[in-house]
Chain A
Amino acid sequence: MRSSVDYEGYAKCTNLGHCTSGCAQGAKASTDITYWPAAIRAGVELRTRCRVREITTNEHGMTSGVVYYEADGVEQFQPAEVVILACNAVGTARILLNSVSARFPTGLANSSGLVGKNLMFHPYARIAGYFDEMLDGYRGPGNCIWSQEFYETDQSRGFMRGYTFEFSRGQGPVMAAVDGMQIGRLPWGAEHHRAYRKLFCHRTGMVAICEDLPEEHNTVTLDPVLKDSKGIPAPKITYTLSANSRRMLDHAVARAREILRAAGAYDLWYEAPIPGGGWHLMGTARMGTDRARSVVNEWGRSHDVKNLFIVDGSIFVTSGGVNPTRTIQALALYVADSIKQPGHAVRLR
């Protein structure tokens, strides 16, 4: 998100166009500009480069704090009246599964056995083509138009749920070069300059963000051997692209090719799923009212541990076919409000 005017600490967008790499103008509403300054002004202490090993519990089955390592490796214990996890579907599941005790032998908050299960990514299809006319790829945010024509379930398409098309203007000069090289469209040597001029400001397209569905065999577990530098068991990810998602990707590629051809593109290219995908992490501590079928309740609170909350993508029950961050932020605000409501969430003492 960006602002057309100076607004509460972030600057007016001047269309520098490298939004995904960070904004030198300070016009991108990233959390370092929005939430963190406000939180620090309100008294939050931010400790960076720390790594939590486990959440501890007391004789009442409540969380009592966390054991963590500072950047220099020194182990610390932080007592807490409430623990709020925000590590997303891999990190949150890893910490919960590492937090074993006599009372919680399979990990914290895991009486349902669902911690780490139903891992969801967003399978992405990426489709692009070349245009003869100059495009304005380097001006302004890259993703500028969305279409959800194929977002809802239509049984005639052969798959459940759907996807969002995100159209882009194109890429700036550096991204065009890096991406062109990665996809094999920008050779080194004598042909480099010709190929680059064909790419830059002449190539654009879209991605399709497909809604992955929850499947219990897609998991985050603890690796039996691998540990990190602090000796904390590492997460092990097991994921299989479903037939439903595969059909959705194929549908998206077919529609995208039609769109690009109609717009005058040629030399069409696609990859589906994109090989570097899987950065949206969701589903491993799902929300629900049935404690046998979910990890946290409708307030984001663990069914098992009354002063443990989760405010990240792990509580999603399905992935949605959109970028998840704003939903995560909305859920975090909603859960924070619920924690403050007497009678709703937790007796702190």
Chain B
Amino acid sequence: MLSADQCRSLRCLAEMMIPASAEYGVPSAGDDAIFGDILKSFGRDAGHVIAVLQTLDAMSSGPFADLDPQRRDAIARPKLYRDTD
């Protein structure tokens, strides 16, 4: 359903959203088992997921996954992060 590039970009995005934590001893959402489950289960939301990935690719002038972490963060942060507390 996703292209190989889209798959890589989605994994990068998942890792940004829920990164691994040594403090709490948990893996990131890009962990093989977790990400595999995400790919298997987003079914009905596929259209929305692909639209987001296409937007990120367009903002990146290429695959979002190919950017360095700082650039990925600069592009995705305004769309992901909300003020808390």
Contacts and interface: CB of A to CB of B under 8 A. Distances in A.
Interface of A: 181, 184-193, 195, 197, 267
Interface string B4-23: 00000000000011110101
Given A185-B85, A188-B16, A267-B85, A193 B80 contact: no
A187 B19 contact: no
Top 6 A-B pairs, shortest CB-CB distance: A188-B17, A184-B82, A193-B21, A188-B80, A193-B24, A187-B84
B59 interface: no
5 contacts: A184-B82, A187-B81, A188-B18, A189-B16, A189-B81
Contact of A188 (B21, B24, B81, B83): B81
A64 B18 CA distance: 59
Interface in B6-54: 16-19, 21, 23-24, 26
A106 to B, nearest CB: 40
B81 A186 contact: no
Interface of B: 16-19, 21, 23-24, 26, 80-85
B80 A189 contact: yes
Nearest to A190: B19
B11 to A, nearest CB: 15
A179 to B, nearest CB: 13
A195 B85 CA distance: 10
Given A193-B23, A193-B24, A186 B17 contact: no
B80 A184 contact: no
A197 B17 CA distance: 16
A189 B26 contact: no
A116 to B, nearest CB: 33
Given A189-B17, A193-B23, 6 more contacts: A184-B82, A187-B84, A188-B16, A188-B80, A192-B17, A192-B19
Contacts of A188: 16-18, 80-81
Contact of A193 (B16, B26, B85): B26
Nearest to B82: A184
Contact of A187 (B21, B23, B24, B82): B82
Contacts of A267: 85
Given A193-B23, A193-B24, A197-B24, A184 B83 contact: yes
Query: Chain A CB within 10 Å — which of B23, B26, B85 has the most?
Result: B85
Contacts of B85: 185, 267
A197 B16 CA distance: 18
Contacts of B16: 188-189
B71 to A, nearest CB: 16
Nearest to B25: A193
Given A189-B16, A193-B26, A184 B21 contact: no
A192 B81 contact: no
A267 to B, nearest CB: 7
Contacts of A195: 84
Nearest to A195: B84
Contacts of B19: 189-190, 192
Nearest to B21: A193
A186 B24 contact: no
A189 B26 CA distance: 13
Contacts of B21: 193
Nearest to B76: A188
Contacts of A181: 82
Query: Chain B CB within 10 Å — which of A189, A190, A191, A267 has the most?
Result: A189
